[in-house]
């Protein structure tokens, strides 16, 4: 019998403290055969489980072009993320995945790409960024706009530094007004304002956006004003999920199961769905 609910076991190889309440795990699947054959695409997610506390859904934050480790980042919010926080390097967790669809990166080759992320919303975007950067010559201009509430809330600071140093990537980091600290050399302002200021051109460009609902709400009109069509704006949804397999019914919205038909949607698709996100 095939048990679709049975996870692989994965070892926590490294834990990175991103912010006081956000951590990144670098994971390795324990079964060498499975680890060797494991592959996924940018945008897919997985179920990460602590035995005794349950499972939680996060995207795979690392890029499929860098398969050595599976990375995930999570903000400590609920029961499972609190249990995950208590774990140490060398501990074992459950891993089910990869699940869901992915960003259509192959189809978008030859285009400019604008990444817009806020807070922990950088996690699902980061795998796409690294994927695009590893295929850098296949894309034209690459712009990254990332914001957080304060300097302390910025995740992946080591990545931000790496991207900023790349000559062929335009990286703009911002913090909300009042969130700057001494020596901050980035922008100060909300993400929608910064997007308007940077004004990436919409022609032959796709936008990948992920962040808190309020950021998305105010960034969308800016992108529309800049001339982005709904078909060229992609996002990834974070509905509550349990099975990840299109069975348990939790992430059903309109005719879709976010876990199977998503989590990646473009805005034209989202407009067809009831407003239940």
Partner 1 sequence: MGDEGFKMEEKIISKQNLLNLCNDIIADGHDLIAPGKTEYGVVRDTSQIVLDTSSKPTKASYKTFVFPKAEPVLYYKRGKNDVVILDAEPEQKKTVIIGAKPCDTNSFNILSKVFNWDYKDDFFNYRVKNFIVIGMMCGFSDKYCFCTSVGSSPVSDKGSDLFLIPVDAENYAVRIVTDKGKEFIDKYSKYLTEGNPEKSKEVADKVKQPEVAFDSQQVHDWLSKNFEHPKWEGIGDMCLSCAQCAFVCPVCHCFDIVDEDYGYTEGRRMKNWDGCQFGHFTLHASGHNPRDIQGKRYRQRINHKFKYYVDKFGEILCTGCGRCSRGCAVSIDIKEIVADCKD
Residues at the contact surface with partner 1, assessed by CB under 8 A: 1-7, 9, 11, 49, 51-56, 77-79, 81, 90-92, 94, 213, 238-240, 242-243, 245-250, 252-255, 260, 274, 276-277
Minimum separation from the CB atom of position 16 to partner 1 (A): 19
Minimum separation from the CB atom of position 243 to partner 1 (A): 6
Task: Determine if residue 189 is left, alpha or beta; phi over 0 gives left, psi from -120 to 50 gives alpha, anything else beta.
Answer: left
Minimum separation from the CB atom of position 249 to partner 1 (A): 4
Q: Of the two residues 47 and 130, which places its CB atom closer to partner 1 in the complex?
A: 47
Minimum separation from the CB atom of position 116 to partner 1 (A): 20
Convert 146-160 to b/e letters by CB count within 10 Å (16 or more is b): bbbbebebbbbeebb
Q: Of the two residues 61 and 251, which places its CB atom closer to partner 1 in the complex?
A: 251
Positive or negative torsion for Cα 88, 93, 99, 100? negative
Q: Of the two residues 52 and 167, which places its CB atom closer to partner 1 in the complex?
A: 52
CA angle, corner 71, sides to 37 and 173, nearest 5?
A: 135
* Token pair in block for residue 242: 């349990």
CA angle, corner 128, sides to 124 and 132, nearest 5?
A: 165
* Token pair in block for residue 179: 């969130």
Beta bridge partner(s), residue 99 = 45
Q: Of the two residues 111 and 242, which places its CB atom closer to partner 1 in the complex?
A: 242
Minimum separation from the CB atom of position 186 to partner 1 (A): 26
Of 150, 135, 141, residue with least CA distance to 66? 135
Minimum separation from the CB atom of position 239 to partner 1 (A): 7
DSSP code per residue over 115-177: EEEEGGGHHHHHHHHHHHHHTGGGSS-EEEEEEESSGGG---HHHHHHHHT-TTEEEEEEE-T
Of 83, 94, 78, 71, residue with least CA distance to 24? 71
Q: Of the two residues 69 and 198, which places its CB atom closer to partner 1 in the complex?
A: 69
* Token pair in block for residue 128: 């796409």
Q: Of the two residues 81 and 108, which places its CB atom closer to partner 1 in the complex?
A: 81
Q: Of the two residues 130 and 238, which places its CB atom closer to partner 1 in the complex?
A: 238
Q: Of the two residues 80 and 226, which places its CB atom closer to partner 1 in the complex?
A: 80
User: Where do runs of H (alpha helix) occur along 15-67?
Assistant: 32-37
Minimum separation from the CB atom of position 204 to partner 1 (A): 34
d(CA 111, CA 202): 10
Minimum separation from the CB atom of position 271 to partner 1 (A): 13
């Amino acid at each position: 019998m095939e048990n679709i609910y049975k996870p692989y076991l994965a070892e926590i190889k490294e834990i990175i403290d991103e912010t006081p309440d956000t951590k990144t795990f670098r994971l390795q699947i324990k079964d060498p055969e499975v680890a060797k054959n494991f592959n996924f695409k940018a945008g897919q997610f997985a179920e990460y489980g602590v035995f005794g506390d349950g499972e939680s859904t996060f995207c795979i934050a690392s890029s499929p072009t860098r398969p050595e480790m599976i990375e995930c980042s999570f903000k400590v919010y609920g029961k499972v993320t609190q249990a995950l926080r208590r774990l140490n390097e060398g501990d074992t967790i459950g891993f089910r995945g990869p699940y869901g669809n992915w960003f259509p990166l192959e189809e978008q080759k030859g285009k400019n790409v604008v990444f817009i992320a806020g807070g922990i919303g950088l996690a699902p975007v980061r795998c796409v960024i690294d994927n695009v950067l590893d295929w850098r010559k296949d894309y034209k201009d690459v712009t990254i706009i990332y914001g957080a509430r304060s300097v302390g809330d910025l995740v992946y600071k080591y990545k931000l530094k790496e991207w900023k140093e790349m000559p062929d990537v335009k990286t703009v980091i911002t913090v909300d007004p009042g969130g700057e600290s001494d020596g901050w050399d980035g922008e100060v302002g909300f993400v929608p304002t910064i997007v308007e200021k940077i004004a990436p051109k919409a022609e032959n460009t796709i936008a990948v956006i992920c962040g808190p609902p309020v950021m998305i709400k105010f960034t969308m009109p800016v992108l529309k004003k800049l001339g982005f069509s709904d078909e060229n704006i992609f996002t990834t949804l974070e509905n509550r999920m349990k099975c990840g397999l299109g069975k348990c019914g939790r992430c059903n919205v309109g005719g879709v199961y976010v876990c199977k038909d998503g989590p990646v949607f473009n805005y034209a698709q989202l407009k067809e769905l009831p407003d239940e996100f």
